[in-house]
Amino acid sequence: MRNTLAIADKELRSYFASPIAYIIIGLFALLFGWFFFVYLSVFVQRSSQMMMGGGAPNINQDMIRGVFLNSAVIILFVMPMITMRTYSEEKRSGTIELLLTSPVTDFQIIMGKFLGALGLYASMLLVTMLYIAVLFMYGNPEWRPIATGYLGLLLMGGCFLSVGLFISSVTKNQIVAGFLTFAVFLMLWVINWMADQSGPIMGAVLKYLSITDHFDDFARGIVDTKHVIYYVTFITFGLFLTAKSVDMERWRG
């Protein structure tokens, strides 16, 4: 655990020592803010209409959920930037020799890198809470669906990170790692688009595989163990692949 934390700490520090962390956080906050603004404007307009018609607008379902769903897409674009350098950079600069000859296990290294990236991702999400705070200042949204939404984002991001980590461990080239990661993420996202056209079994499988499909319930305020299990399994599998790849690299030299 101590070793894992030492590596996580180092990872997090190296993100913040380079402009990368600030660019990612800034970019994400900006886009999140844009969606937030658009959805809020629409919501304000629509709620005044609904009030006249006697309906009860729900800010959680009508606005925040939309922002969450859209930010899931931004995350898709941002995540490759976080993970593309994790292993590639260590291999290119030779620092991987330090890690692999230190008395730490591969698992501790991988966990450290994963937690470091997750830390950056969490701080990315943390910044967006400022926007949510504005809602609490001027209205009274429910906090539970917001919390589950963030939990969902965290889990979904974790999946992206574990896959990104794996891809980064396969190549020495950051750019290659970045593009590959992006392509795989996109695939995982759009895989359910074919679901309706495929047969009943294949359709269900495709739907189940899609990373974003599982997020929908979280955005709605529901924590379904089915989805939690999917995400946790996904993350474990990604980290397992990374471990295998690091081990194979070792044998190949």
Partner 1 sequence: MIEVQHITKRYGRVTAVDDVSFRVERGEIFGFLGPNGAGKTTTMRILTGYMPATEGRAAVAGFDVFDKPIEAKKRTGYLPETPPLYPDMSVREYLDFVSRIKGVPSKERRERVAGVMQKTRIADMKDRHCGKLSKGYRQRVGIAQALIHNPEVLILDEPTAGLDPKQIIETRQLIRSLAGDHTIVLSTHILPEVSQTCQRVVIINKGRVVAIDTPDNLTARLRGAETMLVQVDAPGADVTTALAAIPGVTRVGVSEQRGAAGAFEVESEHGRDVRREIARSIVTNGWGLLELRPMRMSLEDIFLQLTTDETVEEAPHA
Provide the binding-site residues for partner 1, judged by CB under 8 A. Answer: 2-3, 6-7, 9-10, 13-14, 17-18, 93-105, 250-253
Min CB(10)–partner 1 separation in Å: 5
Our CB check for partner 1 shows the closer of 229 and 248 to be 248
What is the spatial distance between Cα 244 and Cα 227, in angstroms, rounded to a whole number?
A: 26
CB 144 within 8 A of CB 108: no
Min CB(153)–partner 1 separation in Å: 28
Our CB check for partner 1 shows the closer of 96 and 120 to be 96
> Could you count the other beta carbons within 10 Å of the beta carbon of residue 244?
13
Our CB check for partner 1 shows the closer of 2 and 196 to be 2
Our CB check for partner 1 shows the closer of 71 and 88 to be 88
Min CB(88)–partner 1 separation in Å: 14
- What six digits make up the tokens of 81? 């930037």
Q: Which residues, in sequence order, are CB contacts of 77 under 8 Å at separation 6+?
A: 182
Min CB(162)–partner 1 separation in Å: 22
What is the spatial distance between Cα 9 and Cα 59, in angstroms, rounded to a whole number?
A: 38
Closest by alpha carbon to 203, among 188, 192, 216?
Answer: 192
